[in-house]
């Protein structure tokens, strides 16, 4: 999302906000009621509500990297966003 910017970044962050809007415990209880109790259900419930946290932290770190001088130099050298992402 940080490499693409614009609409992709906004869509990812809005999906993250949507997940934050629901209380994690109530959603985990609802998921358990729908699917049934079990280890896989617990892992999925925990994963669903930790993904937005990691997405925001990763996006903030990536935006910090995209603001650095060596990325600006790579852009000046004609590299695209995907090549800069892979190289740096």
Instruction: Read off the pLDDT of residues 16-46 as tens digits, 9 standing for 90 and up.
Output: 888 888 888 888 888 889 998 888 888 888 8
Around Cβ 84, how many Cβ atoms within 10 Å? 19
The answer for residues whose C-beta is within 8 angstroms of residue 58's C-beta and 6 or more apart is 2
User: How many other C-beta atoms lie within 10 A of the C-beta of residue 13?
Assistant: 15
Amino acid 79: pLDDT:
92
Record the pTM.
0.68
């Amino acid at each position: 999302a940080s490499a693409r910017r614009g609409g992709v970044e906004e869509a990812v962050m809005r999906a993250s906000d949507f997940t934050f809007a629901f209380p994690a415990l109530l959603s985990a209880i609802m998921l358990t009621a729908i699917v049934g109790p079990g280890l896989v259900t617990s892992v999925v419930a925990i994963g669903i509500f930790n993904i937005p946290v990691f997405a925001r932290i990763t996006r903030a770190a990536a935006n910090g990297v995209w603001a650095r001088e060596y990325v600006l130099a790579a852009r000046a050298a004609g590299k695209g966003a995907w090549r800069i992402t892979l190289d740096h």
